[in-house]
Every structure is written in structure tokens, then in C-alpha cells.
Amino acid sequence: MTRDVRVAVFRPDDERMARAVELLDSLGASPIPDPMLAVEPTGAVPETGADSSDDPAVVVLTSKTGVELLAAADWTPGDAALACIGPRTADAARDAGWTVDVVPEEYTSAGLVAALDGDVDGESVEVARSDHGSDVLLDGLREAGADVHETVLYRLVRPEGAGQSTVMAAGGELDAVCFTSSLTVENFLAAAAERGVREEAISGLNRAVVGVIGAPTRETAEGYGIRVDVVPANATFEELATAVVEEAAPTYHE
């Protein structure tokens, strides 16, 4: 007999959730999809190509969602160097017909700063991302000497009705969870509070395997009293999910 490993996942209710469910299923787990994020586009785009004197030297994109919104708006990076936070964002940018110049070794805001440090001193850098981007990126680029401008492409909000998994956590019905951002942690706890099970849900998480996608998410979770068991070496959902299932049921994952 194999163990039924129930893993909650909080990705937006689009192809990302579909891929996450498919991956967890392929790993032998029972996915518990509970979208904690929804995308609300702002309609804003970075200004490039209109006035060469004001164009940024570097444009930084931090998500596949951002790339897709910009591509749908017929935006292009113009003559700016294009930096993407990781391979999925870079692949989406190439699919849009853009040349990607920088992908950091570490797929995080800190990794982007490290990859650009030394090349942006005195340069204008445009950062296009969600309204919940880490200050690590903006502060790090400014410390590297860049003149940084941020364009908020979309807002991340908690979908109405999200939170089925919080009740399951409170009742000890989850074996593991995969948090993919600090905001998913915060929205999970907000949904639990709305249901009157916040403390019980935290206790339930601390009896389960908690996986987070990177150090900032770990810091957020631990700040709320949630013990973190898994942080993958690379900040990808594939590595996170695989490591979480392995931790939750090491005799089950092959």
C-alpha cells in the first residue's frame, strides 16, 4: 500500500495551478488546490522606445505573468538589456520575441542584484513586476548605483472564497503545504482568521511538512510561528514540490 500524501498548493487558478496539480499527482501525492493569489492587471507598461534619452539601460522582469501582460500590450524592451529572474520568465520573454541578456544563477531578487551588480552603476534600470515585489531588488540595485524606476504591472489579491485548506490544516487533514511566496503565507493566515481557525491552522501546519520557495518566504512563515521544513536549492515549484513530497513520504517518492 502507498501512503496518501495530501499536499496543499496555493498557486493562481490558471495554468500554474494546473501544472502544480499535475506535478503533485505525478509524484504520487494528492493535491489540495486552494488558490491564494489572483492577478489584477493595472494596465501600466514601462516606457521604452519613446525617447532614447529617457530609455532605461536595463529592464528587469520578475515573472512569467508580467511578460505575458507586456507582450499582450505589444510592449518591447527596445534597446534595453533584458534581465529575467529565472528560466520560466526568460522562456516566456523569448517566446514573445525578445532577447534575454541576463538570467541569474539564483532565481531570486538577491540573485538578480548579484547578477547585475557591477553593470548598473550610473545606469537607469526599469523594474516591471507585481505590487508585492521584494524591496531586496530595488534597494540592492540602488546600492549598486542604479537609478531605479518601478512599474507595477499587476496586483496580487486573495480570491474570494479561498481558504478550504486552512480548515483542513486546523483539523490535521494536511500532510504538507507548498508556499510559493510570502503573500501566499499571509493570505493563508488571513483566510484562516476569517474562518476563526488561525491558531489551529498554524498548529496544523507545524504538524505537517511545510515547504517554501525561498529565503524571503521562509522568513515570513517563521515570523508567524510556522516551522519550515523544506527550502529547495533552486526557487522553482518543481524542486519545491518534489522536495516536499520526499520529506512527507520518503518511502513513497521514487
Percent of the chain surpassing pLDDT 90: 85
> What is the mean predicted confidence (pLDDT) over 54-79?
94
**Confidence (pLDDT) at 220:** 95
Q: What is the mean pLDDT of residues 198-211?
A: 98
Classify burial at 87, counting beta carbons within 10 Å of its beta carbon; exposed 0-12, middle 13-18, buried 19 or more: middle
Q: Tell me the per-residue pLDDT of 112-149, one tens digit each, with 9 for 90 and over.
A: 999 999 999 999 999 999 998 889 999 999 999 999 99
And the C-alpha cell for 91? 522562456
Give yes or no for residue 223 having a pLDDT over 50: yes
pLDDT on residue 47 = 83
| pLDDT confidence bin for 251, thresholds 50/70/90 | low
**For residue 50, is pLDDT > 60?**
no
pLDDT for res 254: 44
Spatial separation of the C-alpha atoms in residues 19 and 33, rounded to whole Å: 11
Helix (H, G, I), strand (E, B) or coil at 115: helix
**What is the per-residue pLDDT for 53?**
57
Is the CA virtual torsion 154, 215, 90, 103 positive or negative? positive
Mean pLDDT of 17-22: 96
User: Where is pLDDT greater, at 170 or 160?
Assistant: 170
Q: Evaluate if residue 3 carries a pLDDT over 60.
A: no
Whether 253 has a pLDDT exceeding 80, the answer reads: no
Per-residue pLDDT, 250: 65
Q: Which of 229, 165, 157, 160 is nearest to 200 (CA)?
A: 165
Q: Encode pLDDT of 92-103 as tens digits.
A: 999 999 999 999
For residue 235, is pLDDT > 90?
A: no
Q: Which helix (H) or strand (E) holds 221?
A: helix 215-223
State the average pLDDT over residues 227-251.
Answer: 91
